Amino acid sequence: MSEVALQSHGTGRRVAVRRHGLIVRITHWTNAVVWVFLLMSGLQIFNAHPALYFGNQSNFAHPFLAMEAADDNPARGVTWIAGHSFDTTGWFGVSYDENGEPVERGFPQFLTWPGEQDLATGRRWHFFFAWLFVINGTIYLLSGVLSRHFARDLLPSWSDIRHIPRSIFDHVRFKFPHERRYNVLQKLAYVSAALVALPLMVLTGLTMSPAMNAAFPWLLEIFGGRQSARTIHFITAMFLVLFVFVHLVMVLISGVFNNLRSMITGRYVIEEQADDP
């Protein structure tokens, strides 16, 4: 890894190390834009039938998750999860339109693309960005394998695993040492997102396509039916929303400028003791 010494202070020095290659940076920012439109258009599609089931058929009487207006009050939003109901008025089930009037919707208008209820347009946007997502992800995966980015920077070693308790303790104390490599919690988070959740999103998305079912019927068997695939697709999307939220929080509290610079220029500044190699 190349490095540039920036400043020395007797007992230590600041060094700019190369942390992110060009392909990683380009695919990262491309994915950030694509992911926003994928999520919002996906919520538009979900709003056409804001309920999830397991199996191959929709069991309208017993959804795993549903967002709707309450039977006794059309202005009250209710979200059902595994048989338990929650009042989510203003957010899920019932939200407010531009005139402040309550309207039955799974997700509110400002979270969907397009904003107004339009399943056909939402599907077109979703499929367009889905292909961009697959192409961008394939470039990232091939680059990561060929450059050994995954093996060198993302896959945790046994030494990393042993340091999980220490890394958790440091994060709880908001102590974020600037290191040459990702810490073990970063590695586990990125591996779970890039190598598990994102491929799972693609596969479950393909499973919901009748054309793909005809070509690859084993996809339905793997995920237990089209409705199960839709539910797993949704849950995985929510996991990625949580991942992005935590990622942004960590960027903010561990050094915004240093983190942004590393993802724009590739250079990440660390502080070392003078006797460090």
What's the confidence (pLDDT) of residue 179?
Answer: 66
Write down the pLDDT at residue 167.
86
- Cα torsion 58, 204, 39, 82 to 10°: value is 40
DSSP output for 107-137 = S-GGGSSSSS--HHHHHHHHHHHHHHHHHHH
CB atoms within 10 A of CB 32: 11
**Residues 203-208: contacts with CB under 8 Å, at least 24 apart:** 204/229, 204/230, 204/232, 204/233, 204/236, 205/130, 205/233, 208/233
In this prediction, residue 13 carries a pLDDT of 74
Q: What is the C-alpha radius of gyration for the chain, rounded to an integer number of angstroms?
A: 22
What pLDDT is stored for residue 221 in this prediction? 94
Cα–Cα distance, 97 to 95 (Å, whole number): 7
CATH architecture of the domain 3-21+147-273 equals Up-down Bundle (1.20)
Q: Which residues of the chain have pLDDT under 70?
A: 1-12, 177-180, 272-277
Which three-class secondary structure state does DSSP give residue 70? Answer: strand
Starting at the earlier edge strand, list the strands of the sheet with 73-81: 51-52, 65-70, 73-81, 84-87
> d(Cα 216, Cα 96) in Å, to the nearest integer?
42
Range list for CATH 1.20.950.20 in the chain: 3-21+147-273
Write the pLDDT tens digit of every residue in 236-260.
999 999 999 999 998 998 889 999 9
pLDDT at position 1: 47
